[in-house]
């Protein structure tokens, strides 16, 4: 490991890319602490403390996790890269639905640039609308400084310009990291924001232990579960079902080339973390929106059913004694049931969008390849679809299990959610996935630099030839 780090630093180009990436990440974290104008920070903290109660904090905790705390502080980068992610997802779906976009996506590099440009424009428009919505919300919560409360239009315009600019800058940073740095820029920004909260979460855990609210053994349990969850995520993210592919014999000139055998890898978790993100986003907003309806508590009462910490759970329904092992049943509520259903649904939905068995079967048929035991065409497509369905179900169940671990610890065992989130959840899945992708890029750069500049030199003698690798 130490030798690998030395090799990374010794490669001038790779060293420059890493410095470039870390410099832009530092710029991002500085910008994440620049407050948006005309907001009373004291009132803002009081308001968010009330709204973010419970495991994960509902929609607020979900968005705040992706922005690295910028949303709860209402900085100029409060939107993070969420508008860009939303626009990218919408474009992926529209590419399948709209023939013109599908044709554009198949035009190679020029088509990809056009789609990226449309995505950027769409993300900017979406960020403007979302920033106006945040401004209206801040006015409703009465967290605006007193002299600006009477100038609502000016405050909304200022908030829109500040937050839209922050989102646009983040999109630019993400693209620059992708082009001149290491890894996928947008993903690295999200992972950096999530990891920026880890030290604070661990410190809060130790503080809770010192106060006597948490048994010290839980720190060891959380640490062990964090390691186990990380290993499991790596195993599943890298896991693939390899389907053998046989190539037919070909006649090239006067030579007959024997058919080769290789594999068609089908990833266990093709959709990655997208199903968890979609399910969390959809379930987070009903609770928030219903809590804003009326002052008589009817909206809040209805929203309680969609809350992750809802009192309408199986534990209270069966009226078990307090403190029993059956506290695990507190997790079984409407929110959890809908979360499981939506995660599994989006796992299959997203996989169907990005992977088309019929198209794969047709491409295999065109190059003269086939799966042993299955005829080219429809029978091959049906077999690929069958295998893909089975492994997608395994991947979806795994995502649900990992994502629910922090909720179980928080609801059933009263572990602080920030500390419990280290054992799983959406954040850990994203961080591990991004680190894996970045490490692969660094490794490929090292391998390329390691073998570049080497040549094979023959030396005669002793009735034979010996080979030696030497540097130019």
The per-residue pLDDT for 122 is 92
Lowest mean per-residue pLDDT among 193-207, 256-270, 336-350, 409-423: 256-270
Tens-digit pLDDT profile for residues 252-277: 556 656 667 788 888 898 888 778 87
Spatial separation of the C-alpha atoms in residues 357 and 344, rounded to whole Å: 19
Spatial separation of the C-alpha atoms in residues 342 and 336, rounded to whole Å: 10
Quick check: helix, strand or coil at residue 367? coil
Tell me which of 1.10.150.300, 1.10.287.1080, 1.20.1050.10, 1.10.3370.10 is the CATH number of domain 1-196+424-472. 1.10.3370.10
pLDDT surpasses 70 at 31: yes
Tens-digit pLDDT profile for residues 363-400: 888 878 888 888 888 899 999 999 999 999 999 999 99
The per-residue pLDDT for 460 is 43
pLDDT band at residue 468 under the 50/70/90 scheme: very low
pLDDT band at residue 316 under the 50/70/90 scheme: low
Spatial separation of the C-alpha atoms in residues 320 and 331, rounded to whole Å: 14
Mean pLDDT for 148-156 is: 86
Distances from the Cα of 443 to the Cαs of 411, 439, 447, in angstroms? 41, 6, 6
Over pLDDT 70: what percentage of the chain?
A: 79
Distances from the Cα of 254 to the Cαs of 162, 200, 236, 249, 258, in angstroms? 70, 70, 46, 13, 13
Which segments of the chain belong to CATH 1.10.3370.10? 1-196+424-472, 235-418
Tens-digit pLDDT profile for residues 218-237: 999 999 999 999 999 999 98
Mean pLDDT for 409-437 is: 84
Over pLDDT 90: what percentage of the chain?
A: 19
The residue written with tokens 């409060």 in the block is 78
Lowest mean per-residue pLDDT among 57-61, 247-251, 283-287, 403-407: 57-61
pLDDT surpasses 60 at 241: yes
The per-residue pLDDT for 25 is 93
The per-residue pLDDT for 459 is 41
For residue 397 the two structure tokens come to: 């169940």
pLDDT surpasses 90 at 330: no
Spatial separation of the C-alpha atoms in residues 176 and 407, rounded to whole Å: 36
Tens-digit pLDDT profile for residues 42-67: 888 887 776 655 545 555 666 788 78
Q: What is the crossing angle of helices 274-291 and 378-413, to 10°?
A: 50
293 DSSP assignment:
S
In this structure, which long-range contacts are made by residues 230-238, counting pairs with CB atoms below 8 Å and at least 24 apart in sequence? Answer: 230/428, 230/432, 232/398, 232/402, 233/402, 233/428, 233/429, 233/432, 233/433, 234/432, 234/436, 236/268, 236/269, 236/395, 236/398, 237/269, 237/272, 237/432, 237/433, 237/436, 238/436
Tens-digit pLDDT profile for residues 269-299: 888 877 887 787 677 666 556 555 544 444 4
Its pTM surpasses 0.85: no
Give the list of residues 6+ apart from residue 307 with CB closer than 8 angstroms, or none: 54, 58, 287, 333, 335
Q: Phi/psi class of residue 435: alpha, beta or left (left: φ > 0; alpha: ψ in -120 to 50)?
A: alpha
Task: Say if residues 287 and 302 touch (Cβ distance below 8 Å).
Answer: no
Tell me which of 1.10.1580.10, 1.10.150.130, 2.20.25.10, 1.10.3370.10 is the CATH number of domain 235-418. 1.10.3370.10
pLDDT band at residue 414 under the 50/70/90 scheme: confident
Strand segments (E) across 403-463? 454-461
The per-residue pLDDT for 63 is 75
The per-residue pLDDT for 466 is 39
Tens-digit pLDDT profile for residues 438-460: 888 888 877 776 544 333 334 44
The per-residue pLDDT for 6 is 72
The per-residue pLDDT for 14 is 84
Helix or strand (DSSP H, E) at 470 = strand 464-471
Quick check: helix, strand or coil at residue 471? strand
Task: Say if residues 431 and 194 touch (Cβ distance below 8 Å).
Answer: yes
H helices, E strands: number in the chain: 19, 7
257 against 340, higher pLDDT? 340
Spatial separation of the C-alpha atoms in residues 34 and 162, rounded to whole Å: 10
Spatial separation of the C-alpha atoms in residues 365 and 246, rounded to whole Å: 11
The per-residue pLDDT for 162 is 94
């Amino acid at each position: 490991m130490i030798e690998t780090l030395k090799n990374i630093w010794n490669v001038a180009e790779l060293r420059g890319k890493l410095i470039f990436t870390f410099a832009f990440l530092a710029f991002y974290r500085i910008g994440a602490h620049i407050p948006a104008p005309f907001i009373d920070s004291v009132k803002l903290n009081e308001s968010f403390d009330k709204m973010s109660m419970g495991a994960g904090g509902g929609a607020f905790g979900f968005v705040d996790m992706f922005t690295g705390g910028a949303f709860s502080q209402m900085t100029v980068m409060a939107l993070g890269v969420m508008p860009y992610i939303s626009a990218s997802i919408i474009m992926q779906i529209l590419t399948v639905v709209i023939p013109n976009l599908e044709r554009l996506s198949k035009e190679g590099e020029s088509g990809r640039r056009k789609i990226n440009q449309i995505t950027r424009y769409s993300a900017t428009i979406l960020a403007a609308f979302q920033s106006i919505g945040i401004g209206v919300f801040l006015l409703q919560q009465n967290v605006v400084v007193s002299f600006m409360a009477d100038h609502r239009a000016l405050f909304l315009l200022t908030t829109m310009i500040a937050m839209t600019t922050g989102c646009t800058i983040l999109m630019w940073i993400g693209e620059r990291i992708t082009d001149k740095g290491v890894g996928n820029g947008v993903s690295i920004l999200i992972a950096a924001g999530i990891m920026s909260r880890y030290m604070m979460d661990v410190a809060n855990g130790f503080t809770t232990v010192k106060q006597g609210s948490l048994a010290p053994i839980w720190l060891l349990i959380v640490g062990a579960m964090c390691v186990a969850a990380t290993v499991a995520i790596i195993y599943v993210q890298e896991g693939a079902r390899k389907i053998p592919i046989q190539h037919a014999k070909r006649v090239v000139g006067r030579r007959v080339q024997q058919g080769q055998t290789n594999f068609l890898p089908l990833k266990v978790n093709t959709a990655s973390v997208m199903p968890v993100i979609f399910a969390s986003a959809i379930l987070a907003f009903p609770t928030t929106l219903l809590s804003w309806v009326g002052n008589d508590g009817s909206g809040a009462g209805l929203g309680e059913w969609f809350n992750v910490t809802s009192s309408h759970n199986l534990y209270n329904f069966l009226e078990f004694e307090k403190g029993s092992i059956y506290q695990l049943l507190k997790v079984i509520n409407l929110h959890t049931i809908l979360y499981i259903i939506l995660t599994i649904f989006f796992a299959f939905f997203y996989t169907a969008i990005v992977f088309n068995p019929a198209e794969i079967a047709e491409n295999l048929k065109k190059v003269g390849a086939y799966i042993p035991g299955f005829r080219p065409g429809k029978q091959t497509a049906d077999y690929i679809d069958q295998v893909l369905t089975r492994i997608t179900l395994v991947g979806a169940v795994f995502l649900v299990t990992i994502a629910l671990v922090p909720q179980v610890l928080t609801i059933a065992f009263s572990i602080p959610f920030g500390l419990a989130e280290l054992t799983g959840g959406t954040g850990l899945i994203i961080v591990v996935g991004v680190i894996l992708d970045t490490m692969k890029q660094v490794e490929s750069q090292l391998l390329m630099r390691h073998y570049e500049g080497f040549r094979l030199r023959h030396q005669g003698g002793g009735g034979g030839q010996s080979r030696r690798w030497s540097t130019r």
